Structure 1
Amino acid sequence: MHTIIQQKLIEIEAKYGVKILYAVESGSRAWGFPSKDSDYDVRFIYIHLPEWYLAIDPQGIGQKRDVIEEPINDLLDISGWEITKALRLFRKNNPPLLEWLRSEIVYYQQYTLIDNMRALESDVFYPNSMLHHYLNMAKNNYREYLQGRVVRIKKYFYVLRPILACQWIEKYNTAPPISFHVLLEDSLKDGELKHSIDRLLERKLAGDEFDLEPRITVINEFVEREIQRFEAYVESLDVQVNDPTAQLNDLFRYTLQEVWG
């Protein structure tokens, strides 16, 4: 499948006249809890030719779209962001983008953009927006999927992962790793809660993710407690950051020169 994805990326470059700078896995495979039939969620960053940027209509306006989205099938979901869109989201501390930078499944990488973005991450990071993102994800998924008397196994992970990400941000004041396993081992000590999650993970990986069964009290209590705690914690934060726009403008111009000469 890796070869098929790389070939698809080459076809996208030719079709749209762009250079792909970075492409990674972003879904459950990257998180560490894929199902046997999980699809591939490929995300990439790309750059146009210089003349595309030297025009009176900016990217993102009209027909100058700042995303590329290929048709989705049952196996492959592939889409990408244009570089200036990606850098604007980087400036906002966009959690999905920062997860891309941490993916351990890299399909394609060339030039120095990603290394330079990683070097700048401490200048753009602030915990407020990331905590809001993960906390809202946990709250919404918990309310929608885990309130009934019986729940699906897989839904627990879409609540637990953002909760553990919040714990990482609180503890280290950095963007969390993408791996669920890393988050779990860092956050929870051995005990009933961790053992319950470990058993769920084994079953999900074995293909039991759609099973309906009674809620697991120890996990639900943990989630409810942490949601309530982080709601108060987020409100207590007052973090100021410097505007990194000038640095990101320089990075865009440097990358444009590096890629196209």
Structure 2
Amino acid sequence: MKIPNPIITIIRQQPYPLLFATISGSHLYGFPSADSDYDLRGVHILPVTEVVGLETGNETIEVSEVRESLEIDLVTHDVKKLFLMLLKKNGYVLEQLYSPLILTTSPEHDELKVIAKNCITRHHSYHYIGFATTQWKLFEKEDVYRIKPLLYVYRVLLAGIYLMQTGIVEANLINLNEVFDLPYIPDLIAQKLAGTERSVLSDFNIDFYQREYERLRNKLQEAYESSPLPEAPSANVALHNLLVRLRTRSYES
């Protein structure tokens, strides 16, 4: 994937060192429209002086702007905040961490990807079920049936099932469908790629899509119940040690 220059520039302009920055959103999921914005996600490292004092640095930095006709949405979290999020059933940060669309990286990024495997539990299924439920309600309540929320529904359900079965984080719907082989997915993706962010379905077989939503949601519940994944994360000590090392390095430099 060719990275547009405005994205490279905005990454270089961040005020703190970045452990990593990746692309998330539709570009990661495999169905960006021509007018899709770029969702950039990453982790910054606050220096010790901005952590221990009375005045602390920003745990979260958000930038939303248009550069050279590109909509860019950047969110980075401080390492401690992200590590705490990893220890919860948060699928978002897992997908950002393991995104193959890497803007900037570090040896500690690779180290974190190894450690984070011990953050993945059976209970991450709740994240995917909850997100799919929210997207289905969004799909149903609008005056027109848009493709994007429907694709989000199927993407998160397949990602959740795959995670429960394998322990592997896969966010791309095209890759997921190579495993699940749902015949309607390629056509939905093709409609989204050919249109805009607000493209509507070319067919209105809503009963079919609802049955598929319910079937896949039930399948995710079954995958949770039979999953070999652990009940709780076991990465606390490794995350603590990595955090101390990163903070100490910022102080020494």
Measured against the shorter chain, the TM-score band is: 0.7 to 0.9
Could you say what the CA RMSD is over the residues aligned between the two structures, in angstroms?
2.6
Query: Residue 53 of structure 1 aligns to which amino acid in structure 2?
Result: V
User: Which among 93, 104, 123 is matched to residue 100 of structure 2?
Assistant: 104
Shift of 1:216: 4.6
- The DSSP-based 3-state class of the residue aligned with 1:78 is strand
User: Which among 27, 43, 66 is matched to residue 59 of structure 2?
Assistant: 66
Report if the CA contact (8 A) 1:168-1:187 is conserved.
Answer: no
Shift of 1:230: 3.5
Q: Distance in 2 between matches of 1:231 and 1:6?
A: 40
- The DSSP-based 3-state class of the residue aligned with 2:238 is helix
Correspondence 1:204 to 2:192: yes
Correspondence 1:21 to 2:19: yes
The verdict on how the C-alpha distance between 1:69 and 1:44 changes in structure 2, with shifts beyond 3 A counting, is same
Report if the CA contact (8 A) 1:150-1:215 is conserved.
Answer: no
Q: Distance in 2 between matches of 1:25 and 1:53?
A: 27
Report if the CA contact (8 A) 2:48-2:247 is conserved.
Answer: yes
Correspondence 1:151 to 2:140: no
- TM-score with structure 1 length normalisation? 0.82
Shift of 1:233: 5.7
Say how many residue pairs are matched.
244
Query: Residues 122-180 of structure 1: CA distance to partner in whole angstroms, max 9, x if unpaired?
Result: 3222121x2101111112221331478962222210110011012202321x1431211
Query: Residue 232 of structure 2 aligns to which amino acid in structure 1?
Result: V
The verdict on how the C-alpha distance between 1:133 and 1:242 changes in structure 2, with shifts beyond 3 A counting, is closer
- The DSSP-based 3-state class of the residue aligned with 1:165 is helix
The verdict on how the C-alpha distance between 1:150 and 1:5 changes in structure 2, with shifts beyond 3 A counting, is closer
Percent of aligned pairs sharing the same letter: 23
Q: Give the aligned partner of residue 52 of structure 1.
A: 50
Q: Distance in 1 between matches of 2:142 and 2:238?
A: 49
Shift of 1:202: 1.0
Structure 2: 5+ residue stretches without partners: none
Query: Residue 27 of structure 1 aligns to which amino acid in structure 2?
Result: G
Structure 1: 5+ residue stretches without partners: 189-193
User: Which among 179, 190, 209 is matched to residue 186 of structure 1?
Assistant: 179
Q: Give the aligned partner of residue 75 of structure 2.
A: 79
- TM-score with structure 2 length normalisation? 0.85
Large movers: runs of 4+ above 6 Å: 235-238
Report if the CA contact (8 A) 2:116-2:235 is conserved.
Answer: no
Report if the CA contact (8 A) 2:120-2:233 is conserved.
Answer: no
Report if the CA contact (8 A) 1:132-1:234 is conserved.
Answer: no
Shift of 1:84: 0.6
Q: Give the aligned partner of residue 88 of structure 2.
A: 92
Q: Distance in 2 between matches of 1:221 and 1:85?
A: 39
